[in-house]
Structure 1
Amino acid sequence: MKIDLEKIGSQAKNAAYELSLVSAEDKNKVLLAMADALRSNSSEILAANQRDLSGATGLIKSFVDRLTLDEERIEKIAQGLGQVAQLSDPLGNVTNGWINHAGLQITQKRVPLGVVGIIYEARPNVTVDAAALCFKSGNAVILRGGKEAFNTNLKLVEVLQATLKENGYSENTIQVLTDTSHEVANKFMQLTGYLDVLIPRGGAKLIQTVVQNAKVPVIETGVGNCHIYVDKTADFEMAKKIIVNAKCQRPAVCNAAEKLLIHEDVASEYLPGIVAELKKYNVEIRADQAALDILQGSAIPATEEDWDTEYNDYILGVKVVSSVDEAIKHINQHGTKHSEAIVTNDYKKSQQFLDQIDAAAVYVNASTRFTDGFEYGFGAEIGISTQKLHARGPMGLEALTTTKYVVRGNGQIRE
């Protein structure tokens, strides 16, 4: 389907201006109406999702799981809209204020980014989460989902747009690209003059494609080659519980653990029990030579490529290290600056890990699975930023705003 990106961008820009004038109370009412609309249209949404699933042959299991909707998942998405409605609106918040040497009153307040573009893969919940967060933070949004979720995304946006229209707001506040070709995606990444920021959500290949081709500002999100380091002072039962949760609860997400590093002093004692528990979930272990020697046939050799790979599957890389220093060096070399954890009873080692690991989220004695907007109390998230400029970590409402300086005077001129 041929689309006019310039027109879509212009419509979004106009809608963003109109939305910036809407009160928080009115936006919250619309979000709750959207939640009700999703519930009342669930049968149509599921029918659209079924059309997508019927074409999902040959895709890996974890990918299909992310694509699949059911009544329970639709209800959770609707509840997410309600939670966003309950969040405090950051717009207009004064973050700083002072009077300068010339007597000017200077304040800094939060304002919307404007028009946000989202490029993502087969996760229909992102369609609604992104739309809700952008709407609440006063931004128009243009969504470009993967072709695998085409029908589902189209139906979800149709429901959201109908709710906007019923409440007197422009349907162009939330738009979806109806052409999922690579050609249109590349042009979308270069929609300067309309897009204020572009946020990719998906695997490493998608994110790097956007970073390398975009001509508009990009916030990198999502790639999670996350590690858990088990120190020699770690409690075995705690370590086992954390590792199994971080790897197995939902292996296809970016905050799942992909690598286990374990101190050589406890590797022989701890590894067999940990791996035995992981094997209950059919986790494939890819180990370095030291771990292979301990596991005696319960693992296969890891390659150099493994240490840099985000599996998104029931696969875990295992490496034996000699110290916390070696663990930190390995993580900083191979990690993606997402989420890293240490299991230890040594306070000094935990502080060293917290101070020296370069990541958006660093944990002591807890699962990496907590790196999530809901878990951090932000409500739905637009993504987890792994870069350092503008936003880092789970991106909630405030991360979708910027600041404006408001300066009041009484006739001052600069000498």
Structure 2
Amino acid sequence: LREVAKLDDPIYKEIYFKERNGLLIKKVRFPIGVVLIIYEARPNVTSDCIGLLFKSSNIGILRGGSDAFYSNMAIKNVLEKASFDSGLDFKPFFVIENTDHRIVDIILKKDNYIDLVIPRGGEALIRKVVKKSKIPVIKHYKGVCHIFVDEDIDLEKAIKVCVNAKVQRPSVCNAVEKILVHQNIARSFLPLLKKEFDKYNVQIRGDKETCKILKGIKKAKEKDWFEEYLDLIITIKVVKNIDQAIRHINFYGSHHTDSIITKKKNNIEKFMQEVDSACCFANISTRFSDGYQFGLGAEIGISTDKLHARGPMALEELTTYKWIVKGDGQIRE
């Protein structure tokens, strides 16, 4: 919350200005309005979202999961008291205290009162919200994140990045789920990678070529390439070149976060331009796909949509805009 407080206020910020035909034309940021956040078991979401919504002058309605109910209520009580102690004469946020799932179904139909819904949680929750909501939804369904290990690499750094992306926190949406390895380095790279993964009990599933190199691993099925495991499981494929890697990512991925490991600058640029994902990285772990890591203070969620917001969402993504035009009696001929 202190990090969010330090950020510039996005409201009334001018994002376009032009003088034309004696008119002063401005495009200015404004709050979206009333934002509903539906989330599951992480109570830090409560404080993060309240801070971001308050800073961006939106009213928040928060509905957390029953597993973190008492933590959510404790955070709500502290922040509610702080808001009134600071002199506010209105409630800037509301936390729904009823854990009955039917409440959510009712609220999702109130598009005349609520401007936006942001669901945070598992794929089942998000799909349910999208299906039932009459209110616009910004979301990502899942994080099927990839790392492509090119042929020209620093071997030690490549292994370090791949291991961190899988094991540092495997249950989150920016953990890597698939690793693609260039065929020219597969025989030298994969045994070293497996040795490190074995230290963390990571289960490896592989395509035909990977199974030839890493004897005894489980053969990947078609559904594995689409799967978000959120666990110590990884699927690995040997690819011919960067073009095959990009095609694979765009077909099987979830357009969340994908990374390339390479020394080739032209391949980095090709990957950035052709991979259709919200976050494209070079030579870093996918775990950096996070609003706080991006310097946004916190995040309200991550979007794989292309309209309004994409990637980690923070203050600016919680705004819309108005066209403000001033003149002196002009008429259009």
TM range (shorter): over 0.9
CA distance in 2 between partners of 1:222 and 1:138 (Å) = 27
CA distance in 1 between partners of 2:199 and 2:274 (Å) = 34
| Cα distance change on mapping 1:171 and 1:127 into 2, 3 Å | farther
Structure 1 unmatched runs, 5+: 1-80
Structure 2 unmatched runs, 5+: none
Deviations along 1:383-412, one digit per CA (max 9) or x if unpaired, are 111111111111111111111111212222
CA distance in 1 between partners of 2:26 and 2:125 (Å) = 39
Is the contact made by 2:41 and 2:68 (CA closer than 8 Å) also made in structure 1? Answer: yes
Q: Which residue of 1 aligns with 2:136?
A: 217
Instruction: Check if 1:236 corresponds to 2:155.
Output: yes
How many residues align? The count is: 333
Is the contact made by 2:127 and 2:141 (CA closer than 8 Å) also made in structure 1? Answer: no
Q: Which residue of 2 aligns with 1:46?
A: none
CA distance in 2 between partners of 1:222 and 1:120 (Å) = 13
Q: Which residue of 2 aligns with 1:273?
A: 192
| Cα distance change on mapping 1:116 and 1:352 into 2, 3 Å | same
CA distance in 2 between partners of 1:407 and 1:323 (Å) = 52
Runs of 4+ displaced beyond 3 Å: none
Decide which moves more: 156-165 or 326-335: 156-165
1:374 partner letter: Y
Is the contact made by 1:244 and 1:278 (CA closer than 8 Å) also made in structure 2? Answer: yes
CA distance in 1 between partners of 2:82 and 2:110 (Å) = 27
Instruction: Check if 1:347 corresponds to 2:265.
Output: yes
Q: Which residue of 2 aligns with 1:338?
A: 256
1:122 partner letter: A
Of 273, 276, 291, the residue aligned with 1:358 is: 276
Of 282, 298, 302, the residue aligned with 1:384 is: 302
Is the contact made by 1:201 and 1:222 (CA closer than 8 Å) also made in structure 2? Answer: no
Deviations along 1:167-213, one digit per CA (max 9) or x if unpaired, are 23256311111223332112222211111110011122222221222
Q: Which residue of 2 aligns with 1:30?
A: none
Q: TM-score, normalised by structure 2?
A: 0.96
Name the SS for the 1:159 alignment partner. helix
Instruction: Check if 1:93 corresponds to 2:13.
Output: yes
Q: Which residue of 2 aligns with 1:149?
A: 68
Decide which moves more: 389-398 or 133-142: 389-398
CA distance in 1 between partners of 2:131 and 2:24 (Å) = 42
Instruction: Check if 1:194 corresponds to 2:113.
Output: yes
Deviation at 1:130, TM superposition (A): 0.4
CA distance in 1 between partners of 2:90 and 2:166 (Å) = 41
1:92 partner letter: Y
Deviations along 1:322-370, one digit per CA (max 9) or x if unpaired, are 1111111111011111110111122222222111100011111111111
CA distance in 2 between partners of 1:398 and 1:156 (Å) = 24
Instruction: Check if 1:184 corresponds to 2:103.
Output: yes
CA distance in 2 between partners of 1:260 and 1:188 (Å) = 40
1:83 partner letter: E
Q: TM-score, normalised by structure 1?
A: 0.78
CA RMSD of aligned residues (A): 1.3
Deviation at 1:380, TM superposition (A): 0.6
| Cα distance change on mapping 1:408 and 1:322 into 2, 3 Å | same
CA distance in 2 between partners of 1:251 and 1:222 (Å) = 17
Deviation at 1:292, TM superposition (A): 1.4
CA distance in 2 between partners of 1:204 and 1:328 (Å) = 24
Name the SS for the 1:199 alignment partner. strand
Name the SS for the 1:296 alignment partner. coil
Q: Which has the higher contact order (CA 8 A, sep 6+)?
A: 2
Instruction: Check if 1:122 corresponds to 2:51.
Output: no
